[in-house]
Amino acid sequence: MTQIALTGFNIALIVLALITLIGALRVIGTRSVIHAAFWLFPVFAGIAGFYLLLGAQFLAAIQVLIYIGAILVLIIFAVTLTRNAMQTDEATTNTFGFPVFLAALVLIVAVVGAALRTELPQPVMALTSRQVPNDFGGTTTQYTPSQTELRKLEDVYLVPTHLATRTDPETPGLPVSEVPALGVVLLQQYLLPFEIASILLLAGMIGAIVLARKERKDGETAATDADNKTSDAPARESVEV
Amino acid sequence: MLVPFADILLISVVLFVVGAAALIMRRNAVAALMGVELMLNAANLNFVAAWRYLWPERLDAQVAVLLVITVAAAEAAVGLAIILNLYRKFGTVDLEQIRLMRG
């Protein structure tokens, strides 16, 4: 067991963990559904902070755009459309309360126990690597790829060589910015899942419109169901950025 | 034992379990969907942590996170539309009172 090092990284980690987990507990614990929806904001923002902390800048931006900008707004729309927003007098949880609490504890203990017994998988690529002791008790594999390995990196994983070689001196093997490489990987190696995701979004958009519109009776004008469609609009626009 | 990788995994486990509990316990259908969003976020956090600590030179995990976010957006739109339909049909989104298939 090592001493807790109060580096900036660890302080940020603790603060983000507190924000995220307190938000999540409030989401499940608060009586008012609209308050629960608003408590989702610190959770999503905290996750975006984790992404930034771990070096995934693009994902942090996407998290803010989609989760906070679209899904959260969509959820708040749904809450206000389906109930009186400030009404809190009815019971919020069903009778499963205590069993669920026990099951949650058991699940956490089981997963943590399994994780502690699991040997973490070695990186798939056989780069020239050496084991160096790290500040959290174990060893970390550091990579110093040779020229042939760099070429393999470019051939097999389609990461441009000039990106793979530009590594941060403090964290070897981690590119300074992975955003350009992510674009390359997404549109070459993962082009088919990317396109399938587009079709899924289109299907979801059409499905949401079809499901949410009122069945129009005779004599009813188109203006009456315009308000139903507005709830879907933010998600669609942001998702397709 | 402040182990960054294990810490982040622990945070994501707790987040996942809280989301699952919300999905099971909350009576409001919209609140149950919020639980699903929490679980998806926990999974995404796991992906990013694995990318950062295990395979920093491969970007598969980030692509997976992007696809999960896409699916989450589509799921939220369709799920909330379904809930809106339920509300029109039953006048409530209380999952205890929507028991059409329970007899």
Per-position DSSP letters for B76-94, written without gaps between them: HHHHHHHHHHHHHHHS--B
Tell me the sheet residues that pair with A131. Answer: A141
Query: Is the Cβ of B5 closer than 8 Å to some Cβ of chain A?
Result: yes
Question: Mean of the pLDDT values across residues A44-60?
Answer: 90
Give the pLDDT confidence score for residue A127 in this predicted structure.
42
Categorize the per-residue pLDDT at A137 as very low, low, confident or very high, splitting at 50, 70 and 90.
low
Name the 3-class secondary structure at A142.
Answer: strand
Q: B7 vs chain A: nearest CA distance in angstroms?
A: 9
Q: How far apart are CA A188 and CA A195, in angstroms?
A: 11
Mean pLDDT of chain A: 73
- Convert the pLDDT of each residue in B37-95 to its tens digit: 999 999 999 999 888 777 777 788 999 999 999 999 999 999 999 998 888 888 878 87
Q: How far apart are CA A202 and CA A189, in angstroms?
A: 22
- Amino acid A93 reads T
Q: What percent of chain A has pLDDT over 70?
A: 56
**A196 or A133, which is more confident:** A196
Most confident range (mean pLDDT) of A46-55, A145-154, A198-207 is A198-207
Q: How far apart are CA B85 and CA A69, in angstroms?
A: 24
Q: How far apart are CA B87 and CA A82, in angstroms?
A: 6
Q: Is the pLDDT of residue A58 over 80?
A: yes
Name the 3-class secondary structure at B102.
Answer: coil
Question: Mean of the pLDDT values across residues A218-241?
Answer: 48
**Helices marked H in chain A:** 8-29, 33-54, 57-62, 72-82, 97-117, 147-157, 161-165, 179-187, 191-212, 226-229, 233-239
Cβ-defined contact of A37 to B82 (cutoff 8 Å): no
Q: How far apart are CA A207 and CA A217, in angstroms?
A: 20
Question: Mean of the pLDDT values across residues A33-61?
Answer: 91
The answer to whether A213 and A225 are in contact (CB under 8 A) is yes
A-proximal residues of B, 64-103, CB under 8 Å: 65-67, 69-78, 80-85, 87-88, 92-96
Q: Is the pLDDT of residue A64 over 90?
A: yes
